[in-house]
Structure formats: C-alpha cells, structure tokens
C-alpha cells in the first residue's frame, strides 16, 4: 500500500500542474459538459500509466537516439499547436450555446483528443523513469507487485484530479457568459500554442 499511496500522490501532483491538458479540460467542460472533462482525465491517466510503464521497462534508452527524440518533439509541438489554433478559431466562431450538433464534443471524441494531446510529449517517459528510479532507491517500488501498485496509483491520481477539476469548472459554468467563454478560449488557445512553441524550441535548440 505504500507504493500505491506514493503513486497516487505523484499522479495528483503531476496532474495538478498547469499544462496543456489542464487548459484543454477547463475549456472543454465550459464549452460542453462535465463528462467531457472526465473523459479527458481518463485519457491523461491512460497515457501517464503507459509512459510510466515504458519508463520502468527501459524505453528511455530509445530516447537516446537523436533523430527519434527530435521527431517526437516536433510531432508533439505540432499536435499542441493544432489544438491551440482550433481553440482560438472557436473563440470567434462559436457563440455561447450556439454550437451545432457536429461541434458539440462527445465523451468519446474527448477521450481520443486527450490521448493524442497527452501523448504528444513522449519525453515524459524519461521523467517517469526517473521517478521510479528514485522510488526504487527509497525502497518504495521494489518488486513487481509494488511497481504495479505504484502504476495503479499514478493512473488513479491523475484521473481523480481531472475529475475534481471538471466538477469545479462545471459548477461555475452557468456564471460565465459568451464573453467569458471567448476569453477562456483565447487564453486556452494561446496557452496551448505557447506550450507548443516551448516544446518545439527546446527540441530544435538542443539538437540544432
């Protein structure tokens, strides 16, 4: 249970950091519904657990290949930039409550978007690998069972945080008018583009 509690705490802490998925979740719940935010959280949890598992399995060795690392970084930046651009466009095109049936995001499409957006930064595999190395050194995740418990904790922590965030945002949705929604879209779109720029710049700068 110590490994599970550690993973749960890590999942909560990592998910609570302001990042592109948080912006995507807030914007999507305001535009659509609570379940969409939960689906985004599920997608983030799946990728976090997947990357943590890959990190434990030693996939970080692949990231030492310069060409692969650059390609993944550029692809990730492009995915985030696309999401940011689409969000900015919606700030001017969609009015409050005026979405068409094709523009209302379903839980399934939200899950797919979250999987793509969260997976857009595969370099987090190295981060999770470092976490598990530290946990092993601290005698937290030694052994297969303890490692599995920690992985489950990470996934649950991520999912719990995004469910909480979605609930809070959904509770305040009625107080936000058309201008408020447009402001959120602009801020979220700019934030996503900013994260895309930083990821792309760091990738090209390190290997330019």
Here the tokens at position 41 are: 């959280």
What's the rounded Cα separation, in Å, for the pair 203 and 208? 8
What pLDDT sits at residue 124?
Answer: 74
Among 86-100, 119-133, 152-166, 171-185, top mean pLDDT goes to 152-166
The mean per-residue pLDDT over the stretch 62-77 comes to 72
What's the rounded Cα separation, in Å, for the pair 81 and 34? 25
- The pTM for the full model equals 0.77
The mean per-residue pLDDT over the stretch 21-32 comes to 88
The string of DSSP letters for 13-61 reads HHHHS--HHHHHHHHHHHHS-HHHHHHHHHHHHHHHHHHHHHHHHTGGG
Q: 110-143, pLDDT tens digit by residue?
A: 899 888 888 877 767 777 777 766 666 555 656 7
Question: How many residues are given for the chain?
Answer: 208
The mean per-residue pLDDT over the stretch 144-168 comes to 91
The mean per-residue pLDDT over the stretch 59-75 comes to 70
């Amino acid at each position: 249970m110590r490994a599970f509690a550690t993973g749960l705490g890590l999942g909560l802490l990592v998910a609570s950091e302001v990042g592109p998925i948080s912006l995507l979740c807030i914007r999507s719940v305001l535009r659509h519904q609570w379940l969409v935010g939960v689906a985004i959280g599920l997608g983030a949890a799946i990728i976090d657990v997947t990357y943590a598992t890959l990190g434990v399995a030693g996939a970080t060795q692949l990231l030492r290949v310069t060409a692969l690392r650059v390609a993944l970084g550029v692809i990730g930046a492009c995915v985030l930039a696309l999401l940011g651009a689409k969000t900015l466009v919606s700030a001017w095109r969609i009015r409050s409550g005026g979405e068409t049936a094709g523009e209302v995001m379903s839980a399934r499409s939200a899950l797919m978007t979250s999987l793509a957006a969260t997976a857009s930064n595969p370099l987090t595999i190295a981060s999770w690998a470092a976490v598990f190395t530290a946990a092993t050194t601290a005698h937290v995740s030694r052994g297969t069972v303890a490692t599995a418990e920690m992985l489950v904790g990470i996934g649950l922590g991520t999912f719990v945080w995004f469910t909480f965030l979605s609930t809070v945002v959904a509770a305040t949705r009625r107080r936000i008018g058309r201008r408020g929604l447009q402001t959120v879209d602009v801020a979220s779109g700019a934030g996503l583009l900013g994260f895309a720029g930083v990821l792309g710049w760091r990738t090209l700068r390190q290997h330019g």
